[in-house]
Amino acid sequence: MVAKARKGAVARKIRFTERRDAWLRHHKMLAVDSLVQMLRKPLSSMLTWLVIAIALSLPALMYLFLLNIQSLVEPMHEGAQLTVYLEKSVSDKAGMDLAGDLNLRPEIFVADFISARQGLDEFRVYSGLNDVIDSLDSNPLPGVILVQPLNDDLIAVESLKILLESLPNVTEVQLDLIWVQRINQMSQLAKSLVGFLSVLFSMAVLLVVGNTIRLAIESRKQEILVVKLVGGTDAFVRRPFLYMGFWFGLAGGLVAWLFISICYFILRDPAEKLFQSLGDQYHLISLNLTGVLLLLFASVFISLLGSVVAVGRHIKAIEPT
């Protein structure tokens, strides 16, 4: 009895491994088979690759463009600074004390007092208007405190500005580099736009692959019928089309990468020249390894999803009658 049961268990185990091996064998065969079939009709397959590649490289390029703009703006952004103009009656000592007080505030990174005299000296060096300045009866400049906020974000800086304006002896607070903030805001906006467009283009890829798979299913309807008649399961019938979607995605992703690389090589020289004129620390950002892998993964994932949808909708409908 026990021996019999054990024999049954062994038999079941063998059956299971056999089935798993058969399953793996079929996958391996189909992976190669569907690739060969796709490459055998390069012209029609290539159209699909191109559509996928264009739809994916557009948002990817826009994203890279944004990254580059941000890399240009970000270092400037770090220098966001407030200039606090004091009343002329404020003595150097009082100004220094105020700067000292401001330095203790948590939202302020550093506050430097520049006396009216220092200011005039700097102006003299900077402007070269020695004679004019010498001819003045008194120093027209007020004392100034330069404040660097700890937090660069616009709202924090704005509220700091209001706070500083409310201090006694302060005539005016000027927010420098506001245009950097504006660019930053715009790039945030552009980021959302690129995100939205990426979703749209991904949907386009999904539909294109879905439609290609639908046509493939349609053209192999007879084969599907025969396979179902001789005992093929839905999963068996589905498999080649899913592999097809996988290969389309991979090929489309690779072509998209090619497009992006071509674009990079065309733009590299002029862009590098422009960047170098801005400073040594700037370099053109291209797709790194992670970016390439992400692009390929996205392409494969979206295509596979498209084929899953198409296969789910159309294969069940094909039944022998």
Residues that bind another protein (CB under 8 A): 18-19, 21-23, 25-26, 29, 222-223, 225-234, 236, 320-321
Q: How far is the CB of 217 from another protein (least distance, A)?
A: 15
Dist. CA 62–CA 195, nearest whole Å: 10
Rounded Cα distance between 261 and 291, Å, is: 12
Specify whether the backbone of 169 is left (phi greater than 0), alpha (psi in -120 to 50) or beta: left
**Considering the complex, what minimum distance in angstroms separates the CB of residue 211 from another protein?**
22
Nearer to another protein, 189 or 226 (CB): 226
Nearer to another protein, 51 or 318 (CB): 318
CB of 46 to another protein, least distance (A): 21
Rounded least distance, CB 53 to another protein, Å: 29
Task: Map residue 101 onto helix, strand or coil.
Answer: helix
SS3 label, residue 150: coil
Tokens of 97: 């004390």
Closest among 47, 293, 306, 70 to 194, alpha carbons compared: 70
Nearer to another protein, 12 or 25 (CB): 25
CB of 5 to another protein, least distance (A): 24
Considering beta carbons, is residue 226 or 274 the nearer one to another protein?
226
Min. distance of Cβ 308 from another protein in angstroms? 18
Q: Which is nearer to another protein, 122 or 319 (CB)?
A: 319
Token code pair at residue 157: 């800086």
Q: Could you tell me if 38 and 248 are in contact, meaning their C-beta atoms sit under 8 angstroms apart?
A: yes
CA dist 311 and 305 (Å) reads: 10
CB of 43 to another protein, least distance (A): 18
CB closer to another protein out of 136 and 229:
229
Beta carbon of residue 233, minimum distance to another protein (angstroms, whole number) = 4
Retrieve residue 310's tokens: 């198409």
Instruction: Return the closest-CA partner of residue 37 out of 292, 282, 216, 288.
Output: 216
For residue 228, give the DSSP letter: H
CB of 23 to another protein, least distance (A): 7
Tokens of 114: 């520049």
- Which amino acid would we find at residue 132? V
Q: Which is nearer to another protein, 132 or 235 (by Cβ)?
A: 235
Distance CA 206, CA 300 (A): 10
Nearer to another protein, 161 or 220 (CB): 220
Residue number, 29 or 274, with CB nearest to another protein: 29
> What are the DSSP calls for 19-63, one per residue?
HHHHHHHHHHHHHHHHHHHHHHSHHHHHHHHHHHHHHHHHHHHHH
Per DSSP, helices labelled H in 128-233 are 130-134, 154-165, 178-219, 221-229
User: Beta strand pairing status for 144-149 and 170-175?
Assistant: unpaired
